Structure 1
Amino acid sequence: MELPKRAGESPIAIELEEGKRYAWCTCGLSENQPLCDGKHKGQGMSPQVFVAEKTETKHFCTCKETKNGPFCDGSHK
């Protein structure tokens, strides 16, 4: 399995909707960062899928080094 491509230098804020399903890009290839657009196919990686527990703004990791995926933990610094 290859390491993910760094897709950015800072997090991206996303307004989540309670009960909605999201797929965070883990490969770094998506053109729809920080969300998956299917570019991982054939890369040995898959997105991290989750359902939002509540409506809120969260900051998503784009450096792909977070230990708290899909959310930013400051690893990009």
Structure 2
Amino acid sequence: MEKPIIADVAPKPVKIEEGKTYAWCACGKSDNQPFCDGSHGGTAFTPVVFKAGETKTAYLCMCKHTSNPGFCDGSHKSL
């Protein structure tokens, strides 16, 4: 099984806007972290697409090991 590249070992705070759709990078290869730029091509990874339910600051996962894809769950603390 392919493993993602760890982009950082801390979450990235990002302002997300209600009703807007986002594509979180799951592979770690994107130059536009934490968002997908299509760099996953040729891998087993696909971005996680989500629609923001509210406008807020979200802490998006940069280690790519979260059990809540897209959002930090503290998994980086055990890497």
Q: TM-score, normalization: structure 1?
A: 0.95
Could you tell me how far apart the structure 2 residues matched to 1:10 and 1:40 are? 21
Could you tell me how far apart the structure 1 residues matched to 2:74 and 2:61 are? 8
Unaligned runs of at least 5 residues, structure 1 = none
Overall identity of the aligned pairs, in %: 55
Look up the match of 1:8. Answer: 8
Indicate the RMSD between aligned Cα atoms, in angstroms.
0.8
Structure richer in helix, relative to its length = 2
* 3-state secondary structure, aligned to 2:53: coil
* 3-state secondary structure, aligned to 1:76: helix
Could you tell me how far apart the structure 1 residues matched to 2:44 and 2:17 are? 29
Look up the match of 1:19. Answer: 19
Shift of 1:69: 1.4
Q: TM-score, normalization: structure 2?
A: 0.93
